[in-house]
């Protein structure tokens, strides 16, 4: 890798998807969880801004359709990699596939993630471990594995955390809130460690955003989510992109979310936990 010549993401001079010589690596933006929701809209925004992309998720059909949609004539089509990040070998295999294609991540977007609603004692153990595995382990593995390449490129990392990251805990979604608190803490620490290398690390912390997330989480269909102050996935993606490019450590899209983050440190933890518990109970079919 140290001998490789790297071309800048989004400014490849060649229309050819192939690198120009045997030692040249093409720099890309890698987005996990790109098959829908916030990840797909992040991919759309990156493509619009001229980035060459690698799209990762489990749903091949959705990824291929997105790659066709955002492909720009005269530029390499986004590379689709169909992987389940919960599979133990997935991340080494992704790294091998990129190396074989002479592709190197300059920007990494750790977006794939999910949560489950319900009391921790009542939810399936394997599913809760999968939350930790996907939201935490996969993001850490991808980050540290690609860090040498990102550092060499003076690149960027965007971790999609959540407004949940700022709460003292999330009764009714305990593993999910804890995973997102980890991701914010990890991002902030890395942002400091990598500052001198010219690498920026940003945590994108959306609040309620209407995507496939709610159905996957098992949020009760009896809840009228449209009454919540929310953002669209595209609003979140655009805020995320702007914050990433500006090198901001924390990106909280939406006025209500910004206000919550400002006020939270002044509220007693017991009160916040009780309010969250009440809210999640009302949304959970497992009450
Ligand atoms: N929506 C919200 O209200 C909200 C709020 C705050 C934070 N977030 C965070 O935003 C991120 C994106 O969520 P979203 O709202 O866009 O939800 P979404 O529509 O459910 O998208 C989740 C993405 O992750 C992928 N994914 C899930 N499991 C995977 C696995 N095992 N391996 C590889 N990819 C996997 C999914 O693709 P496949 O199913 O094709 O694999 C999909 O592309 C998540 O980290 C979430 O925690 C969401």
pLDDT of residue 229: 74
Nearest alpha-carbon partner for 9 in 49, 56, 67: 49
How remote is the CA of residue 85 from the centroid of ligand 1, in Å? 12
Mean pLDDT of the chain: 90
Q: What is the pLDDT of residues 101-120, one digit of tens each?
A: 999 999 999 999 999 999 99
What does the domain layout of the chain look like in residue ranges? Answer: 5-9+22-283
Confidence of residue 7 (pLDDT cuts 50, 70, 90): very low
Q: Is residue 11 scored above 80 in pLDDT?
A: no
- Crossing angle of helices 60-70 and 37-48, in 10° steps, is 20
pLDDT of residue 72: 94
Q: Is residue 20 scored above 50 in pLDDT?
A: no
Pocket test for ligand 1, best of 65, 139, 211 (most atoms within 8 A of CB): 211
pLDDT of residue 281: 84
Protein residue with its CA nearest to atom 46 in ligand 1? 113
Give how far Cα 188 sits from Cα of 108, 156, 161, 251, Å: 15, 13, 11, 12
Pocket test for ligand 1, best of 112, 235, 260 (most atoms within 8 A of CB): 112
Q: What is the pLDDT of residues 243-285, one digit of tens each?
A: 999 999 999 999 999 999 999 999 999 999 999 999 988 776 6
pLDDT of residue 13: 30
- Ligand 1 site residues, Cβ closer than 6 angstroms: 32-39, 57-59, 62, 84-86, 111-115, 134, 160, 162, 206, 208-209, 211-213, 216
20-24, 146-150, 243-247: least confident range: 20-24
Q: Is residue 2 scored above 50 in pLDDT?
A: no
Confidence of residue 224 (pLDDT cuts 50, 70, 90): low
Mean per-residue pLDDT, 45-58? 98
Q: What would the DSSP string read from start to end of 123-178?
A: S-HHHHHHHHIIIIIIHHHHHHHHHHHHHHTT-EEEEE--GGGGSS--TTSHHHHH
Which CATH number, 3.40.50.720, 3.30.390.30, 2.60.60.20, 2.30.110.10, labels domain 5-9+22-283?
A: 3.40.50.720
CA atoms within 13 A on the CB side of 52: 27
Q: Is residue 17 scored above 90 in pLDDT?
A: no
pLDDT of residue 83: 98
Pocket test for ligand 1, best of 213, 217, 230 (most atoms within 8 A of CB): 213
* Tokens representing residue 200 in the block: 């920026």
d(CA 16, CA 231): 37
Q: What would the DSSP string read from start to end of 17-58?
A: SS-SSTTEEEEEEEEESTTSHHHHHHHHHHHHTT--EEEEES
């Amino acid at each position: 890798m140290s001998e490789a010549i790297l071309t800048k993401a989004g400014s490849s001079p060649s229309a050819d998807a192939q690198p120009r010589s045997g030692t040249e690596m093409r720099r890309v933006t890698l987005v996990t969880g790109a098959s829908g929701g916030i990840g797909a809209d992040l991919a759309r925004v990156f493509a619009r801004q001229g980035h060459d992309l690698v799209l990762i998720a489990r749903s091949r059909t959705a990824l291929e359709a997105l790659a066709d949609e955002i492909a720009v004539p005269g530029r390499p089509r986004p590379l689709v990699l169909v992987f389940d990040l919960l599979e133990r070998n997935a991340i080494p295999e992704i790294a091998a596939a990129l190396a074989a294609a002479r592709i190197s991540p300059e920007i990494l977007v750790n977006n794939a993630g999910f949560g489950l609603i319900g009391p921790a004692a009542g939810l399936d153990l394997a599913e809760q471990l999968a939350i930790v595995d996907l939201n935490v382990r996969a993001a850490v593995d991808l980050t540290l594995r690609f860090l040498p390449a990102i550092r060499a490129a003076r690149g960027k990392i965007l971790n999609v955390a959540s407004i949940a990251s700022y709460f003292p805990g999330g009764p009714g979604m305990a593993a999910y809130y804890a995973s997102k608190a980890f991701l914010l803490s990890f991002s902030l620490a890395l942002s400091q460690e990598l500052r001198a290398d010219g690498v920026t690390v940003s945590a994108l912390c959306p609040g309620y955003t209407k995507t496939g997330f709610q159905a996957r989480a098992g949020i009760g269909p009896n809840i009228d989510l449209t009454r919540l102050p929310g953002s669209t996935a595209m609003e979140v993606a655009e805020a995320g992109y702007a914050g990433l490019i500006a090198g901001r450590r924390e990106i909280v899209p939406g006025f209500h979310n910004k206000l919550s983050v400002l006020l939270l440190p002044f509220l007693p933890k017991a009160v916040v936990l009780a309010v969250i518990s009440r809210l999640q109970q009302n949304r959970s079919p497992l009450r």
